[in-house]
Structure 1
Amino acid sequence: MFESIANLVIRRGWIVVLGWMAFLALLRTVAPSWDQVSKDDDVRFFPPGYPSVVGQELLERGFPRDASSSQVVVISERRQGRLNKEDYAFVDQLINTMNRIRENDPTTGIKKVETYRSPVIGKRLIGTSKDGTGQAALTIASLNGTYLAKSTRVSVEKIKEALKTLPPTPDGLTLALTGSAVVGHDMNNASNESIANTTHATIALVVVILLIVYRSPLLAFIPLLTIALSVWASMMSIALLTKLPGLNFQVINITNVFVIVVLFGAGTDYCLFLIARYREELVKGRSRDDALREAISQVGGALVASAGTVIVGLGMLWYSSFAKIQYTGPAIALSLAIALFAALTLAPVLLHWLRAAVFWPFRQPHHTQGANREQESLEQVPLAGFWMTVADLVVKYPVRILALCVIALTPLAIVGARTKPNYSQLADLNPDQDSVVGAKIVQRYFAVGELSPTTLLIHHPKLDFRSDTGRAKVSDLTKALVQIPNVAEVRSITQPLGTPPVPDAEKSLIERYMERAIKPAVDARYVSMNPVSKAELNHTTKIDVVFDTDPFSEQALRALETAYSIVHDEIKTGGTLEGAASVGLTGASAAVNDLKKVTTNDERRMYVLVTVGVYLILVLLLRRPGICLYLIVTVILGYLASLGVTELVFQALHKGPDPWVGLDWKVGFFLFVILVAVGEDYNIFLMSRVIEEEKRHGIVEGTRLAIAHTGGIISSCGLIMAGTFGSMLTGSLTALRELGFALGLGVLLDTFLVRPILVPAFVVILDRYRFKRKGGTPPPPLGEPVTQGEPVPPPYKVDYGVKTKR
């Protein structure tokens, strides 16, 4: 197959170029724009049946007028003293502005605006600081969209613009914004900024490294053009998948970061391996056409094999439950397939057309008459002397070197194995973001959970929650929920202000009158009095749970789980709510808790599927289960060590009054999948060269020469891959910086430790064990290759399954 590709490239290169032009033109015509189809909404990506999905459905069915998924909280704060008349007058102007937006611009999705004047909870929206020196009022706009939805980001922008039209605040009064919608807005902005920064940094870094490696602008231009076109084609192809009937493919906004980074890393590597072999064949004295033909034939199989492991590993993410993971993996896998095809077709055509000029301002590599071809080709390898020294040491002291490496990595791997994922959204943002600053202000006057209360919804088809029986059951449940640690207060139909109801005998006449006056508003707020279906009239109730801690924190999530368990116990046979049809949750805490559940389940599944999938591909290629298992183990060891170092580094860099809460959950998950898949890339390139050299020199000397021949190019590729991943450090999101650091470190470990040391050392140890067990002739002395015509001692035969042309 690769000979056919080589012949097409050399004889009919113009067909390849026209084919690519037609392919890109077709995609440009039929593919929708990325912004048009990309999404970033966690709740809509959860599988059916999860509490937040059920809760959103109950909310939309039972409370269609009030159903909201996120909040914008405007804080009017007087740090010193109580709010005065001027302050309240300004807040009233703010309220009027918010209501005007709601009425005049339905696209903002504002369902309602709650203020200090609102019935039922108005008094709860004025708070005094814990030391009694200040006071603040909250104005809360509830939005249709969930906190990460694009529509929510647009709504927050419109609200911010409208607030700029307000007159100057009274002296001493300050405004701040927060709430789950503002958190989502800030995260989306940080994500977009990270995408732009990462893209620019990746391209700049690849250009610099290619110019350093080749010192020839045209030779550096070939991988750049090839991968740039691959990225463009990949983006359009992924967007086009959303239009295929029956596939229901979804595009995640952050996917383009991974596509750009992985393609500029792995795709450039594919081109570099091809160019390196082309140069090597030229040095051996082949003509340009023959050298290119030989390069494609020799490297093509290894490229397909290495890319295949990555594509299979990422493709396994299709079996995830969480759609953000399920669609991201196959999207990157598709883009890699496109990049591989470009590296095997478009890049060789450019090499062929540019001929000797591609090496300008230097001469084309060539063979010197009478020189040793093997030695001459080695001299073309970057840092050939260094890698020959490494190869000598590995072949001479394999046991000691292997043991030292394992001993050094094991403590770090233990740290990595003990890391706990963090799901806090606020921890992912810089401290100067509006939502983070506003959250700190709210904590001075209110329970921080007031930023995004969790709403518990119960649907009982046979119970009228406005009846005395229904109220009694809700009252009992409310009393149980308020006892949970980290719950600041619980608001329901029986205690709308979050405080336990006072017996009628202890109420004054005015209090009883006020209670009767607000009763219709309370009932409408907490019971489904205006449902979509009349059959559900009064059969669904809401209970608001406010936490005394960050609603995204681990403590809040534990309290939420406890509350959900209490309700589930009550709907079982014999419980006070026996017969309830469904129970759901809404709010940012509910979404994050479901995110934790679904990603934890997906992690367990993917750890098995990705590992087994990549292992089976390796066995199919190398046909040696023991060595394949060792390759997997070494990559996993590197993964755990990388995770451990990342944990230690970012914990040391953590600043501020808040304690370190751990690495973001995405770090461990994507680090594993990408490293296990990409990590086998270089192992396959190395082992395919070991096979080639083994046939002429035996396994020990063949391994030595393979390290020397591939060391320079694999190191260059590893640096490019690590650099492209490291470009994510320029992003604004903490999770992206953590992941970029971990991936860059993992690739460097794989490039400079696993591939040149751990893998060859194991191969040499196995060879020595074979001779010792069978009593065979020992391998040739170190550094003395077997010359042609001499009998080669029976090498350690490993049928790796990679076809090479002699």
Structure 2
Amino acid sequence: MTLLVWIALAAALNVLWPSVQSQENNNAANLPATFPSVRADELAKREFPSAEGVPALVVWHRESGLNEGDLSVVRKLAETYSEKPLPGQIAVPPYHRMPLPALQAQLSGDKQTLVMPLVFESGTDTDRLKDNFAALRQEAAAANAGLDPFAEKLSSDRLVARVTGPAGIQTDAVGLFQNADVSLLIATVLLVLVLLLAIYRSPILAVIPLVGVGFAYGVTGPMLGFLAKAGWIEVDGQAISIMTVLLFGAGTDYGLFLVARFRQLLTVETDKRTALKQALTGSSGAIAMSGFTVVLSLAALLLAEYGAVRRFAVPFSLAILVMAIASLTLVPALLAILGRASFYPFVPRTPDMIRERAARKGVPAPEPPNRRTAGARFADLVVRRPWAVIVVTVALLGGAASFVPNVKFTYDLLSSFPETMPSREGFALIGESFSPGSLAPVRVMADTGGKPVDLRSALERLPFADRVGEAQQGKLNPSIVSVELELNVNPYDNEAMAYIPEVRGAVVKALAEAGVADAEERVWIGGQTASQYDAKRAGERDGKVIMPVVVGLIALLLLAYLRSFVATLYLIATVVLSYGSALGLGWLVLHYAMGADAVAGAIPLYAFVFLVALGEDYNIFMISSIWKKRKEMPLRQAIREGVRETGGVITSAGLILAGTFAVLATLPIQVLLQFGLITAIGVLLDTFVVRPFLVPAITAVLGRAAFWPAAVPARNGDVARNDAS
């Protein structure tokens, strides 16, 4: 019945509600309307309508210099799109009306490059832009004697063309995520399947968690599609891609927690249903608590100001919530239906069943293996020498975390993309032949109050100004003056963003010197560089707000579950230390091994939320085992048994979770590569250092104090001195 309910639910939701992919909005705004750059862009649309729109910069280039034939191709296209604009196109330069000498004057100093801007309406859908660029490519090939200039390599002696600028970069970025979705899903499924087969050596059992994940995804997708269509949330391709990885990683983990307990009980319990009930009873609390911890931690992303971060909150938290429910209902139902056959060909049996089976075959019953597992040896070490374990593990983790102050961050959008991406190649051509700032000029606007203010001269005096355009007066308010400033550096780089306050300061000073009152309130800075400057400020604010909230939420949940202030403190401290270690080690790998100059600015917040929430999962699962056993045996023995019992399943779960995040590192998008690598490192540290060594060692040292303020009765042979030895 449970299985049928899930089948009916998934089928009904997929029929009645739209898929989440159909509701993706990859053009959603990332900054709230209150941010300066957003207000500046709104003012530009109102006062300077010609500034409205999204430019696509078509870069034409020939290594030996553009000739008259090349320019005739450009003029032909300019004529075509002047007479019959592309869908959403609002402007194109009249190159076809210019005399040849005038057009040649538009070339770069080396005569190798020409830029033809095509401006599209603001908010033009990425799919439409993609179709427009495909049509442009066909027209260019037809005008160029059948040779496609967009297919030529930059080193070619023929005419080369690339589309860059905000529209080109936006289209390429969305295309990267769309192309990554299918490959990411296939790679994740195959990886999880191979790891499950290697761990359990059972083809049936390897499929059961994947079935649970599949149903969870099948239910979550239309739910998110419904919420997005109703306008309650916004979703984008990046969020859905990472959500898929999270579902497979966390979902498989929750399933393994139950499967491991079920498998263990099948060796002592004859009836499969009794064993399953006991397994569900013993693990459901930890699974529910782990899932709830992750759900609340990810929901805290709703507090973010930056849209790309806030859009993660609902898809991630809803996916984990549905997956936790599936792990507690659907996965047990599948195990109940299949029973011991789930583990075929290595079916777990009780000693009596083994003897009966051997008797039927007329062979002697095999002796049970008498081997000490690695988990048992680690548990003995932790209990015997807890202080030594603490000192070594803290030194290792702290040493890795000491590299965090050396980490450099970047908000450069282009640096996240492959160097061979067409829009990045086009940008490189502009930077080599013109000013790199011409790709995305800074729009400076000021309300002069009708007084004579020479903004152009004030901006030209700035050492980083490459070119300053002519001043324009506002359409509705002539006192508002606009000037375009081209920087002499990459407008997407950190260096360019650092200049925004200086630009504002120069304009404010010019207004003040002219006697304009309230000069600070009369300046607006817009454009891509200003937007990224605001994005950096929003990201820094989000980290300061969300990180403490996540820690606070997890602390409250742990306190409610464990009823111990002391345990809550050291469990949180260990995962925070693990996060710092992952960030430090990740920087060493990315910078020294992979040559990255900086890490994407959003990575620390992404990694913190995931690693603290998911790392606490493993702590909860292990510490709950110790807490339960503590009621029946001395603490030292409870620690030994808890570590031994949970070691195998947490190690398996950690490997799978780290593997799924590592799949992100195979993508050509730097922000996902960096996030996947750092998160995978953090999960491995939690799995192989924090969980089996540091946490149980601290528990052993603290002894009964680890349970404070809960009153724990002393057991036979359990004294405080021995607990802390």
TM-score by length of 2: 0.89
Distance 1:215 1:72 in 2: 54
Match of 1:479 in 2: 457
Counterparts in 2 of 1:184 and 1:420: CA distance versus 1, 3 Å: same
Distance 1:291 1:410 in 2: 43
Distance 1:228 1:41 in 2: 28
Residue-by-residue CA offset, 1:9-58 (whole Å, 9 max, x unaligned): xxxxx1x223223322332233223233211236x231122122112211
Counterparts in 2 of 1:569 and 1:250: CA distance versus 1, 3 Å: farther
Residue-by-residue CA offset, 1:157-181 (whole Å, 9 max, x unaligned): 4433433332247975433332222
* Shift in Å, 1:153: 4.3
Match of 2:359 in 1: none
Which of 284, 294, 312 lines up with 1:328 in the alignment? Answer: 312
Contact 1:615–1:628 under 8 Å retained in 2: yes
Q: How does 1:10-89 map to 2 (within 5 A)?
A: 14=1, 16-41=2-27, 44-68=29-53, 70-81=54-65, 83-89=66-72
Counterparts in 2 of 1:197 and 1:57: CA distance versus 1, 3 Å: same
SS in 1 for 2:474: coil
SS in 1 for 2:373: helix
Match of 1:428 in 2: 416
* Shift in Å, 1:593: 1.7
Counterparts in 2 of 1:580 and 1:61: CA distance versus 1, 3 Å: farther
Counterparts in 2 of 1:241 and 1:636: CA distance versus 1, 3 Å: same
Contact 1:319–1:326 under 8 Å retained in 2: yes
* Shift in Å, 1:481: 1.7
Contact 2:508–2:520 under 8 Å retained in 1: no
Contact 1:304–1:340 under 8 Å retained in 2: yes
* Shift in Å, 1:563: 1.0
Distance 1:770 1:661 in 2: 43
Contact 2:286–2:621 under 8 Å retained in 1: yes
SS in 1 for 2:679: helix
Q: How does 1:279-428 map to 2 (within 5 A)?
A: 279-368=263-352, 385-428=373-416
Supply the AA of the counterpart residue of 2:137.
Answer: K
Residue-by-residue CA offset, 1:158-205 (whole Å, 9 max, x unaligned): 433433332247975433332222122221111222222221111000
Distance 2:717 2:161 in 1: 82
Which of 134, 137, 144 lines up with 2:121 in the alignment? Answer: 144
Distance 2:514 2:70 in 1: 53
Counterparts in 2 of 1:644 and 1:234: CA distance versus 1, 3 Å: same
* Shift in Å, 1:73: 1.6
Contact 2:647–2:692 under 8 Å retained in 1: yes
* Shift in Å, 1:220: 1.6
Counterparts in 2 of 1:269 and 1:174: CA distance versus 1, 3 Å: closer
Counterparts in 2 of 1:148 and 1:436: CA distance versus 1, 3 Å: farther
Contact 1:484–1:559 under 8 Å retained in 2: no
Match of 1:765 in 2: 701
Match of 1:620 in 2: 560
Match of 2:89 in 1: 109
Counterparts in 2 of 1:667 and 1:109: CA distance versus 1, 3 Å: same
Match of 1:564 in 2: 504
Counterparts in 2 of 1:408 and 1:25: CA distance versus 1, 3 Å: same
**Where do 5+ consecutive residues of structure 2 fail to align?**
150-156, 356-367
What's the Cα RMSD here?
3.1
Residue-by-residue CA offset, 1:208-235 (whole Å, 9 max, x unaligned): 1111122222222211111111012112
Which of 448, 473, 491 lines up with 2:469 in the alignment? Answer: 491
Supply the AA of the counterpart residue of 1:527.
Answer: Q
- Alignment of 1:450 with 2:421, yes or no, is no
SS in 1 for 2:64: coil
Match of 1:610 in 2: 550
Supply the AA of the counterpart residue of 2:182.
Answer: A
**Where do 5+ consecutive residues of structure 1 fail to align?**
1-13, 372-378, 464-468, 494-525, 530-535, 780-789, 799-806
Distance 1:597 1:124 in 2: 41
Distance 2:302 2:256 in 1: 30
Match of 1:690 in 2: 626
* Shift in Å, 1:694: 1.5
Contact 1:148–1:184 under 8 Å retained in 2: no
Q: How does 1:439-588 map to 2 (within 5 A)?
A: 439-459=427-447, 463=450, 469=451, 472-473=452-453, 475=454, 477-493=455-471, 526-529=472-475, 536-568=476-508, 575-576=515-516, 578=518, 583-588=523-528
SS in 1 for 2:409: coil
Counterparts in 2 of 1:738 and 1:384: CA distance versus 1, 3 Å: farther
* Shift in Å, 1:396: 1.0
Residue-by-residue CA offset, 1:739-766 (whole Å, 9 max, x unaligned): 1111111100000000111100100111
Contact 1:116–1:138 under 8 Å retained in 2: no
Counterparts in 2 of 1:796 and 1:353: CA distance versus 1, 3 Å: farther
Match of 1:227 in 2: 213
Distance 1:225 1:647 in 2: 36
Which of 86, 92, 99 lines up with 2:82 in the alignment? Answer: 99
Match of 2:203 in 1: 217
Counterparts in 2 of 1:639 and 1:417: CA distance versus 1, 3 Å: farther
Match of 1:532 in 2: none
Supply the AA of the counterpart residue of 1:85.
Answer: E
Distance 1:163 1:67 in 2: 26
Residue-by-residue CA offset, 1:689-736 (whole Å, 9 max, x unaligned): 101222222111110111111100100000110011111122120111
Residue-by-residue CA offset, 1:569-611 (whole Å, 9 max, x unaligned): 5567985474796543433222222211111111111111111
Counterparts in 2 of 1:176 and 1:22: CA distance versus 1, 3 Å: closer
Contact 1:384–1:712 under 8 Å retained in 2: no
Q: How does 1:729-768 map to 2 (within 5 A)?
A: 729-767=665-703
Contact 1:227–1:268 under 8 Å retained in 2: yes
* Shift in Å, 1:274: 0.6
- Alignment of 1:238 with 2:224, yes or no, is yes
Contact 1:694–1:795 under 8 Å retained in 2: no
TM-score by length of 1: 0.81
* Shift in Å, 1:623: 1.7
Q: Which moved more, 1:314-323 or 1:247-256?
A: 247-256
Supply the AA of the counterpart residue of 1:421.
Answer: F
Residue-by-residue CA offset, 1:472-529 (whole Å, 9 max, x unaligned): 31x2x22222222322111132xxxxxxxxxxxxxxxxxxxxxxxxxxxxxxxx3334
Distance 2:85 2:175 in 1: 26
Contact 1:111–1:144 under 8 Å retained in 2: no
* Shift in Å, 1:330: 2.5
Supply the AA of the counterpart residue of 2:685.
Answer: L
Counterparts in 2 of 1:323 and 1:84: CA distance versus 1, 3 Å: closer
* Shift in Å, 1:672: 0.5
SS in 2 for 1:332: helix
Which of 664, 668, 671 lines up with 2:607 in the alignment? Answer: 671
* Shift in Å, 1:238: 1.4
SS in 2 for 1:71: strand
Contact 1:72–1:177 under 8 Å retained in 2: yes
Counterparts in 2 of 1:78 and 1:128: CA distance versus 1, 3 Å: farther
Counterparts in 2 of 1:673 and 1:154: CA distance versus 1, 3 Å: farther
Q: Which moved more, 1:157-166 or 1:49-58?
A: 157-166
